[in-house]
């Protein structure tokens, strides 16, 4: 082989290794994200003192109640259930903000066309991940432990999830919401102090550095296809 051929082969091997390493890391972050979004479904409505329609904790609980009601309706087809659940989730999560945050400093480097590609793919990915876990409930009990203002227009709703198996440690799930007019939307979820968007940001930025934006998009499309097949879409 010539020097150029050796160099090309080395670059290909490095690219393949980088993609493999990203896939493994992506899986870890993906599992964390699925845990958080799945647990949001599993919150059983419980007393939380006096709450109002504009209260972040009340909004989280009301959203959960709506989703659980849909999941418990056995007369509804799977397609109808998925459609209605996504309608609720899409109205409560600010996926566009989460998409921007997940890219960090790389967001500013994207062209308008690249941004228009990424946000819908990230949104579809998160929605499919949500649907992939909606039947995973196994008796977890959730306690709302409070909410804390973190800015004039942002609040954190804190919960503790008690696993179905008593031997497993409790999981702390915190929902970060921001005010959008008179409404509140979730812009991040922290699982035992690990932020979904920060976790993805580390992986996405590493992938962009190693494979470029196109490499990231390719990896996300591949993972989303797996999700689509899993949910029968």
What is the mean pLDDT of the segment spanning 173-194?
Answer: 88
- pLDDT band for position 48 (cuts 50, 70, 90): very low
C-alpha–C-alpha distance, residues 86 and 134, integer Å = 11
Ranking 57-61, 146-150, 204-208 by mean pLDDT, the lowest is 57-61
DSSP state of 26: H
Structure tokens at 46: 């419980």
pLDDT per residue over 111-143, tens digit each?
A: 999 999 999 999 988 888 777 766 565 556 667
Q: Do the beta carbons of residue 43 and residue 142 sit within 8 Å?
A: yes
**What is the pLDDT at residue 217?**
95
**CA angle 11-225-121, nearest 5°?**
85
Would you place residue 3 in the very low, low, confident or very high pLDDT band (cuts 50, 70, 90)? very low
Query: SS3 for 97-112, per residue?
Result: HHHHHHHCCHHHHCCH
Report the pLDDT averaged over residues 35-52. 44
- Enumerate the β-bridge partners of residue 172: 160
74-83: long-range contacts at Cβ-Cβ below 8 A with a sequence spacing of 24 or more?
A: 78/232, 81/134, 82/131, 82/134, 82/231, 82/233
Q: Which residues pair with 93 in a beta bridge?
A: 186
Q: Average pLDDT of 17-25? A: 41
Distance CA 213, CA 26 (A): 15
> Encoding tokens for residue 132?
């992939």
The pLDDT value given to residue 140: 60
The predicted-structure confidence for 138-180, as pLDDT tens digits, reads as follows 556 667 788 899 988 999 988 887 776 777 788 888 889 999 8
Number of Cβ atoms within 10 Å of the Cβ of 17: 11
Question: Which one of 3.40.190.10, 3.10.450.710, 3.40.50.300, 1.20.1250.20 gives the CATH number of domain 3-230?
Answer: 3.10.450.710
Residue 61: closest CA among 142, 180, 170, 171 = 142
With a pLDDT cut of 70, the percent of the chain lying above it is: 71
What pLDDT was estimated at residue 11? 41
- Per-chain mean pLDDT for the chain: 75
Q: What is residue 193's predicted lDDT score, i.e. its pLDDT?
A: 87
């Amino acid at each position: 082989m010539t020097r150029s051929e050796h160099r090309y082969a080395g670059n290909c091997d490095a690219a393949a290794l980088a993609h493999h390493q990203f896939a493994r890391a992506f899986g870890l972050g993906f599992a964390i994200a699925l845990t958080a979004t799945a647990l949001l479904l599993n919150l059983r409505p419980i007393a939380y003192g006096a709450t109002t329609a504009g209260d972040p904790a009340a909004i989280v609980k009301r959203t959960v109640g709506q989703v659980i009601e849909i999941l418990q309706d056995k007369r509804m087809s799977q397609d109808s259930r998925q459609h209605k659940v996504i309608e609720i989730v899409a109205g409560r999560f600010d996926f566009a903000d989460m998409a921007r945050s997940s890219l960090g400093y790389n967001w500013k480097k994207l062209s308008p066309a690249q941004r228009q590609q990424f946000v819908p793919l990230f949104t579809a990915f998160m929605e499919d991940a949500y649907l992939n876990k909606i039947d995973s409930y196994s008796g977890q009990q959730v306690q709302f432990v409070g909410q804390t203002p973190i800015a004039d227009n942002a609040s954190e709703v804190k919960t503790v999830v008690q696993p179905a198996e008593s031997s497993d440690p409790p999981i702390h799930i915190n929902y970060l919401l921001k005010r959008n007019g008179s409404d509140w939307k979730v812009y991040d979820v922290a699982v035992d102090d690990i932020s979904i968007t920060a976790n993805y940001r580390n992986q996405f930025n590493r992938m962009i550095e190693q494979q470029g934006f196109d490499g990231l998009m390719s990896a996300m499309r591949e993972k989303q296809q797996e999700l689509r097949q899993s949910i029968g879409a």
